[in-house]
């Protein structure tokens, strides 16, 4: 991993693009298209330029580092399940009894010495080139602008190192950083992150907060930056555990924060707790723009780097993206840490089209009545799991959680309205569907029991059902039914929304003989033949307390909300590619897509 580019050439089928491409839209669009392919590859852009600023950058841009599951496993050096097994053994470690047991435990204890980061007393490779404050210019970095409506260029794979006011706790997080000008960055750390908690300490003390941002180096640093470690634990401990060797850290030049010696670029600075600036909008991993909001500002003191640095970046937007593979590794590794608070949990899965925090599927042993509901509350009450909006639980005899079609059939055959829990709790900072930021509806579904007895009263064809519906309300444009062989067929309709869908749902009550589960989406930008993206749309767009009705059938309003719904916040737009950029890249032979691909992943509005 000393030379990540060479390692990716040898192990990751690295794609190299020597064509000069713009950091504004062009490079991100190529990476965005590539990572959606089944055989996606990491990409090195050797000649990034900024046409608007007239810049030809001296360093290449590396994207899609976590391009697929096999490559992610190679980055770890082992399957993430093997890492999880090691954590599980560590959590279950007990004082040995007898000489034989003591001798058996020595290798495990000996290996733990490699977990703790080692602080070096000399400078690292990341400090070979030093740019002092007077000469700092962030324009030397090929910082990307991904989406047309983004508020500016953003560092998207920055490892943000911070420490508590007393210096006793250190944190590594991965937060987006908006470039405002030559020496200032917007710090988008959300309220539930450790860095934000540290910021509160400095703010109360009236002191500037030191921050060091690293880019590049071992890709495992990037993964550790997004890992949901327990509060107060430094993420580089996880690096040492996975690698079975100490992370080697060097001191920042202008503050006391330590960072890995082998990262490519280091940006050091301070955040003034009294200064906030509007950050965003930004096309985020939800597939929607996060809106403008005030965030702290980092003033850069110095930039250091290797002699030949590589600028690592990622692209976020609609799934699937490389966070699919990073999230898969996180999900596997952290399973043992969930089990102490949910000991009968067998497995869990956070599908990428559920945007991770919007949907969790869990398999469990059910030992008593209400056991699944107990797990729902446990999940909603611990760490980053507390931000999950929708949780569906199945029993130990259910199909594997990644067998989506078989699992869906299993759930729909067990969907009982009396075992649906709707409550309220904290939601992610990026959630846009709730009436109030940070607080919204939660949905829990207990599908751990036996198959239900009754199915739909009478099953009609899509065309027959549509004919009935448009006589009731002419805003209904299309009807598609899924899983019609199950006890709970899914009826999806698209509408030209003119009023609250509660009125439409009440009008459709007369069709209750033909419907058990109704899902409503807007006609615009939704393809009823694309269940993958329909799931993405619905779990993003609903607040369970407002948008789910249980009588006389289950109805889910997945439309965009507006004044008809009493929704007073600004509703964000989708992340869409810029059509002329896609056309230009297609003509150059840098991407190869067709209309089917464009619609499948919602690249353009329709």
Query: Are 347 and 363 spatial neighbours (Cβ–Cβ below 8 Å)?
Result: yes
Give the C-alpha separation, 214 to 66, whole Å. Answer: 18
Residue 606 lies in a domain: yes
The reply to whether 328 falls in a domain is no
CB 101 within 8 A of CB 41: no
What pLDDT does residue 41 have? 97
pTM of the predicted protein model: 0.93
* 3 state SS of 440: strand
How many C-beta neighbours within 10 Å does residue 30 have? 25
Residue with tokens 């419907």: 515
Decide if 596 is inside a domain.
yes
Residues 134 and 228 in one domain: yes
For residues 431 and 489, membership in a common domain is answered with no
Q: Are residues 382 and 485 in the same domain?
A: no
Does residue 393 sit in the same domain as residue 481? Answer: no
Q: What was the pLDDT predicted at 88?
A: 82
User: Cα separation of 13 and 28, whole Å?
Assistant: 19
In a domain, 16, yes or no: no
Q: Please give the pLDDT value at position 111.
A: 64
Residue 347 inside a domain? The answer is: yes
- The tally of domains found in the chain comes to 4
Say how far apart CA 358 and CA 427 lie, in whole Å.
9
Question: 424 with 504, same domain?
Answer: no
DSSP state of 432: -
Tell me which of 419, 447, 475 is where a domain ends: 447
Boundary of a domain, candidates 447, 473, 505 = 447
**C-alpha distance across the termini of the chain, in Å:** 43
What are the Cα distances from residue 301, in Å, to 167, 183, 364? 20, 8, 51
Distance CA 498, CA 171 (A): 48
What whole-number distance in Å separates Cα of residue 281 and Cα of residue 535?
A: 24
- Any idea how long the chain is? 606
CA dist., res. 411 & res. 389, Å (int)? 18
Do 408 and 497 fall into the same domain?
A: no
Sheet containing 490-495: order of strands: 476-482, 490-495, 517-522, 554-557, 548-549
Structural domain harbouring 602: 576-606
3-class secondary-structure state, position 213? strand
CA distance 488 to 14: 45
Residue 515 lies in a domain: yes
Q: What is the pLDDT of residue 104?
A: 65
Q: Establish if 123 belongs to a structural domain.
A: yes
SS3 assignment, position 584: helix
Average pLDDT, 10 consecutive residues per value, the chain (606 residues): 88 97 98 96 98 97 97 96 87 68 63 87 96 97 98 97 93 95 92 80 94 97 90 89 94 97 97 94 96 95 97 97 94 89 92 92 95 92 87 97 97 97 93 94 96 93 97 97 97 97 96 97 97 97 97 97 94 97 97 96 96
- Residue 433 and residue 468 in one domain: no
- DSSP annotation string for 145-210: B-STT-SS-EE-S-EEEEE-TTSS-EEEEE--EEE-SSSEEEE---TTSHHHHHHHHHHHHT-PEE
Among candidate residues 404, 419, 447, the one where a domain is terminated: 447
112 and 190 assigned to the same domain: yes
CATH number of the domain bearing residue 488: 3.40.1670.10
Whether 165 and 273 share a structural domain: yes
Q: How far apart are CA 179 and CA 186, in angstroms?
A: 7
Q: Which CATH number do you get for residue 127?
A: 2.30.110.10
Q: Which of 346, 269, 341 is nearest to 303 (CA)?
A: 269
If asked whether residues 146 and 278 sit together in one domain, one would say yes
Q: Determine, yes or no, domain membership for 253.
A: yes
439 shares a domain with 351: yes
Do 372 and 521 belong together in one domain? Answer: no
């Amino acid at each position: 991993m000393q030379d990540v580019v060479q390692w990716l050439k040898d192990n990751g089928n690295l794609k190299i693009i020597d064509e000069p491409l713009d950091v504004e839209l062009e490079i991100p669009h190529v990476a965005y298209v590539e990572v959606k392919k089944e055989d996606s590859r990491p990409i090195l852009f050797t000649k990034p330029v900024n046409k608007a600023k007239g810049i030809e950058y001296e360093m290449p841009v590396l994207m899609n580092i976590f391009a697929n599951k096999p490559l992610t496993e190679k980055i770890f050096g082992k399957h993430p399940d093997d890492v999880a097994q090691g954590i599980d053994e560590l959590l279950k470690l007990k004082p040995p009894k007898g000489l034989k047991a003591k001798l058996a435990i020595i290798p495990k204890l000996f290996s733990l010495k490699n977990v703790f980061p080692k602080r070096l007393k000399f400078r690292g490779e990341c400090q070979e080139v030093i740019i002092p404050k007077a000469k700092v210019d962030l324009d030397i970095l090929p910082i990307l602008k991904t989406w047309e409506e983004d508020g500016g260029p953003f560092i998207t794979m920055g490892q943000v190192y911070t420490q508590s006011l007393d210096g006793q706790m250190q944190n590594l997080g991965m937060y987006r950083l908006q470039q405002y000008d030559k020496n200032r960055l917007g710090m988008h750390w959300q309220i539930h992150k450790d860095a934000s908690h540290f910021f509160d300490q400095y703010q109360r003390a009236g002191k500037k907060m030191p921050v060091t941002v690293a880019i590049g180096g071992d890709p495992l640093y990037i993964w550790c930056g997004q890992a949901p470690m327990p509060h107060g634990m430094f993420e580089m401990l996880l690096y040492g555990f996975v690698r079975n060797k100490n992370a080697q850290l060097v001191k920042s030049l202008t503050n006391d924060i330590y960072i890995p010696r082998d990262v490519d670029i280091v940006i050091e600075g301070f955040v003034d707790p009294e200064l906030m600036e509007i950050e965003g909008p930004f096309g985020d991993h939800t597939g929607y723009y996060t809106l403008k909001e005030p965030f702290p500002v980092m003033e850069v003191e110095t930039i250091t780097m290797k002699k030949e640095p590589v600028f690592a970046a990622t692209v976020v937007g609609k799934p699937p993206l490389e966070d699919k593979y990073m999230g898969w590794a996180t999900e596997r590794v952290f399973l043992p840490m969930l089990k102490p608070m949910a000991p009968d949990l067998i497995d869990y899965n956070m599908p990428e089209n559920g945007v991770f925090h919007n949907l969790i599927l869990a398999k469990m042993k059910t030992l008593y009545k209400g056991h699944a509901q107990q797990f729902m509350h446990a999940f909603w009450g611990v760490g980053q799991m507390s931000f999950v909006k929708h949780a569906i639980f199945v029993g130990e005899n259910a199909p594997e959680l990644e067998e989506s079609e078989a699992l869906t059939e299993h759930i729909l055959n067990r969907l009982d309205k009396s075992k649906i829990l709707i409550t309220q709790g904290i939601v992610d900072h990026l959630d846009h569907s709730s009436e109030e930021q940070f607080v919204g509806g939660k949905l829990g579904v207990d599908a751990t029991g036996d198959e239900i007895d009754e199915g739909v009263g009478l099953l009609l064809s899509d065309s027959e059902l549509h004919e009935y519906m448009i006589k009731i309300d002419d805003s209904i444009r299309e009807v598609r039914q899924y899983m019609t062989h199950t006890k709970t067929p899914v009826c999806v309709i698209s509408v030209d929304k003119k009023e609250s869908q509660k009125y439409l749902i009440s009008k459709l009550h007369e069709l209750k003989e033909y419907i058990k589960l109704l899902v409503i989406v807007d006609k615009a930008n939704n393809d009823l033949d694309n269940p993958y993206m329909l799931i993405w749309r619905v779990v993003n767009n609903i607040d369970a307390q407002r948008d789910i009705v249980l009588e006389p059938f289950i109805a889910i309003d997945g439309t965009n909300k507006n004044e008809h719904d009493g929704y007073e916040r600004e509703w964000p737009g989708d992340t869409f590619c810029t059509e002329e950029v896609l056309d230009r890249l297609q003509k150059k032979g840098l991407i190869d897509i067709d209309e089917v691909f464009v619609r499948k992943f919602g690249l353009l509005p329709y």
